[in-house]
Amino acid sequence: MFRPLRLLAFALVLLTAPAWAAIDPAQVLQLGDEDTDVRIEAIRKLTASQEPRAADILYALQNESLGLIEDGKRAVIVASGRMADAVTGADMGPAPPNFDALIINNRLRGEIDAALAALQLASPDVATRLAAARSLQGSENDELLPIVQQALDKETDPDVKVVLELSAASLALKNANPELRARAAAALGKSNDPQVRQVLSTIVARGSDGTYAEADERVRTAAQLSLAEINRRLFTTEIGLSAFTGLSLGSILLLAALGLAITYGLMGIINMAHGEFLMIGAYTTYLTQGVFRHYFPGAFDWYVVAALPAAFLVTALIGMALERGVLRWLYGRPLETLLTTWGVSLLLIQACRSLFGAQNVEVENPAWLSGGIAISGGYVIPFNRIAIIIFALIVLAAVWLMINRTRIGLFVRGVTQNRAMASCTGVPTHRVDMLTFGLGSGVAGLGGVALSQIGNVGPDLGQAYIVDSFMVVVLGGVGQLAGTVIAAFGLGSIAKFLEPLSGAVLAKIMVLVFIILFIQKRPQGLFALKGRSAEA
């Protein structure tokens, strides 16, 4: 009597065992609970099951394509117009039109990211495992520790192993045993993760009531030492980073000012509409993006490259039209030129507003310009900044070669230095004027393409850069490319050096004061043309 019962029980256990391992539909339904704590509990249970299906469900929740139907009795995943049962994955036909996906907040998002990372630790791909191990640092879910330990035992790749050890240590900080916590805190000195730094700071910080969040003295000391170690290591990184931001701002100033260095610096035309050429360049990028999105979606990532010649041509043509139609009648009358070009700038802004609307338009960074290189300490050097620095140098080199190494460049220099003499030797000065102004405007258009990748694209884009551009050119010395380059990078670095010390508002004022004082002392700028013609 007794034995059969035991046998039966044993058989039952055998029967139900696979059901335990599979996903419990009730847990999936809890993902849609009102209470976030219940939802987090469900996520943790799903993760602990380590079922492949759990990853699919969590992924759907993360992308807000998981929803409940039939009065919350059934969880479904909707993808590309089809609906599937969340637990079994069985197809259920086309998705209903008014499908309401479950929404998640930041707390859940962090939880899901950690859960998915834990599930990815079993991935055969080393890069995936490494990324997963990284993102587990600083997670608050200590229930993941067994999974991490398990992965650590199986891990063969040394890089992943190092990161996994750190992840395990950061999870162990939540452990009840102070001995383990202290050991974990000491181990974390090797981590560069910003989350880890934050967790360690929380351990050593005193609360508002004067007590420590971490009760144990040993843990606090270990955390303090680790924190000091991390900060020491990251100090040089931070210095390097601020040098980079100065360089980056300088390259942007250079791109904005380079066209002006040609039209104002070489030709002496005070072109208040220079900023609007930047704006037109940026809008050309926007239009090119639209064309690519519509006609060549496959090559979308390369629209920026196509936008470069387009922006150059468009702005150069408008520039040449402006020179032929308006400016050539005003040579030698700087005040009239200033007022006229200012009028033209207003005209262009309003035209743009009528065509594209007063709102900013969206210019999406292509994938290869989004994101950046992660350096230690969670700092990132964005790709678009790097690309703009390189691009600025290329444009600079091209302009320099054109002015100094080509026949047209020779003419430009000749006309700048002595128009009458150049004319006598047969240089078509009017054509040279037109082409030079076209070149300056075209370069401004190229600058506009670059600016569209970091800032606003709106009708007022140019207004933000016109003052800076003039500052750079005047400071650098009229008529000198080298001066423009040094002024751009110098101003960028000074502004970025001052900003953390004094705040952005004061930094801007200080830069302006510096320029005023500098121009008082040296009105010709950093570099000045020497010789008789310079004064003419």
Partner 1 sequence: MDRRQFIQAGGAVALGCSSISTAFSQAKTPIRVGVLHSLSGTMAISETALKETALMTIADINAKGGVMGRPLEPVVVDPASNWPLFAEKARQLITQDKVSVVFGCWTSVSRKSVLPVFKELNSLLFYPVQYEGEELEKNVFYTGAAPNQQAIPATEYLMSKEGGGAKRFYLLGTDYVYPRTTNKILRAFLKSKGVAEKDIEEVYTPFGHSDYQTIVANIKKFSSGGKTCVISTINGDSNVPFYKELGNAGLKAKDVPVVAFSVGEEELRGVDTKPLVGHLAAWNYFMSLKNPQNEAFIKMYKDWAVKQKLPNAATAVTNDPMEATFIGIHMWKQAVEKAKSTDVDTVIKAMAGQTFDAPCGFKVKMDEKNHHLHKPVFIGEVRADGQFNVVWKTKGPIRAQPWSPFIPGNDKKPDMPV
Please choose, from the candidates 416, 393, 390, 391, the residue with its C-alpha nearest in 3D space to the C-alpha of residue 403. Answer: 416
Q: Which of 88, 177, 198, 406 binds partner 1 (CB under 8 A)?
A: 198
Residue entry with tokens 């600058």: 447
Q: Which of 24, 113, 157, 229 binds partner 1 (CB under 8 A)?
A: 113
Q: Which of 48, 454, 510, 528 binds partner 1 (CB under 8 A)?
A: 454
Length of the chain, in residues: 536
Of the pair 167, 337, the CB lying nearest partner 1 is at 167
Distance of closest approach, residue 188 Cβ to partner 1, in angstroms: 13
CA distance 69 to 66: 10
Q: Which of residues 263-322 bind partner 1 (CB under 8 A)?
A: none
Buried b (16+ CB within 10 A) or exposed e, 350-365: eebeeebeeeebebeb
Query: If you ran DSSP here, which 8-state letter would residue 193 be given?
Result: -
Instruction: Give all strands of the β-sheet with 74-79 in edge-to-edge order.
Output: 66-69, 74-79, 82-85, 91-94
Stretch that binds partner 1, among 23-31, 49-57, 81-89, 503-511 (CB under 8 A): 503-511
Q: Which of 95, 432, 449, 457 binds partner 1 (CB under 8 A)?
A: 457
31 and 43 Cβ atoms separated by less than 8 Å: yes
Of the pair 208, 425, the CB lying nearest partner 1 is at 208
Of the pair 121, 227, the CB lying nearest partner 1 is at 227
Q: Which of 94, 240, 357, 428 binds partner 1 (CB under 8 A)?
A: 357
Distance of closest approach, residue 364 Cβ to partner 1, in angstroms: 5
Can you say how many angstroms the Cα of residue 319 is from the centroid of all Cα atoms in its chain?
32
Stretch that binds partner 1, among 52-60, 216-224, 435-443, 504-512 (CB under 8 A): 504-512
The helix-helix angle for 217-260 and 461-476 (nearest 10°) equals: 80
CA distance 334 to 336: 6
Stretch that binds partner 1, among 12-20, 49-57, 183-191, 235-243 (CB under 8 A): 235-243
Burial zone of 48 (CB within 10 Å; 0-12 exposed, 13-18 middle, 19+ buried): middle
Q: Which of 77, 187, 252, 344 binds partner 1 (CB under 8 A)?
A: 252
> C-alpha distances in angstroms, 487 versus 145, 244, 278, 379, 484?
54, 16, 19, 28, 5
CA distance 515 to 246: 17
Name the token pair of 477.
């010395």
- By CB under 8 A, is residue 36 in contact with partner 1? yes
Stretch that binds partner 1, among 87-95, 109-117, 397-405, 519-527 (CB under 8 A): 109-117
Q: Which of 19, 176, 355, 420 binds partner 1 (CB under 8 A)?
A: 355
CA distance 10 to 407: 95
Q: Which of residues 373-402 bind partner 1 (CB under 8 A)?
A: 374, 378-380, 382-385
By rule CB under 8 A, what count of residues binds partner 1?
A: 66
Q: Which residues 6+ apart lie within 8 Å of 23 measured at CB?
A: 46, 49, 51, 53, 54, 57, 87
- By CB under 8 A, is residue 455 in contact with partner 1? yes
Strands, E assignment, 386-505: none
75 and 83 Cβ atoms separated by less than 8 Å: no
Please choose, from the candidates 380, 347, 382, the residue with its C-alpha nearest in 3D space to the C-alpha of residue 368. Answer: 382
372 and 382 Cβ atoms separated by less than 8 Å: yes
Query: If you ran DSSP here, which 8-state letter would residue 289 be given?
Result: H
- By CB under 8 A, is residue 504 in contact with partner 1? yes
Distance of closest approach, residue 508 Cβ to partner 1, in angstroms: 6
Of the pair 88, 350, the CB lying nearest partner 1 is at 350
Of the pair 284, 436, the CB lying nearest partner 1 is at 284
472 and 257 Cβ atoms separated by less than 8 Å: yes
Of the pair 50, 456, the CB lying nearest partner 1 is at 456
Q: Which of residues 410-439 bind partner 1 (CB under 8 A)?
A: none
Of the pair 321, 454, the CB lying nearest partner 1 is at 454
- By CB under 8 A, is residue 109 in contact with partner 1? yes
Distance of closest approach, residue 448 Cβ to partner 1, in angstroms: 14
231 and 475 Cβ atoms separated by less than 8 Å: no
- By CB under 8 A, is residue 236 in contact with partner 1? no
Distance of closest approach, residue 427 Cβ to partner 1, in angstroms: 41
Of the pair 101, 427, the CB lying nearest partner 1 is at 101
CA distance 484 to 258: 7
- By CB under 8 A, is residue 512 in contact with partner 1? no
Q: Which of 134, 181, 197, 220 binds partner 1 (CB under 8 A)?
A: 197
Applying CB under 8 A, the residues found at the interface with partner 1 are 36, 64, 103, 105-107, 109-110, 113, 194-195, 197-198, 201-202, 205, 208-209, 238, 241-242, 245, 248-249, 252, 349-350, 353, 355-362, 364-365, 370-372, 374, 378-380, 382-385, 454-460, 463-464, 495-496, 499-500, 503-505, 508
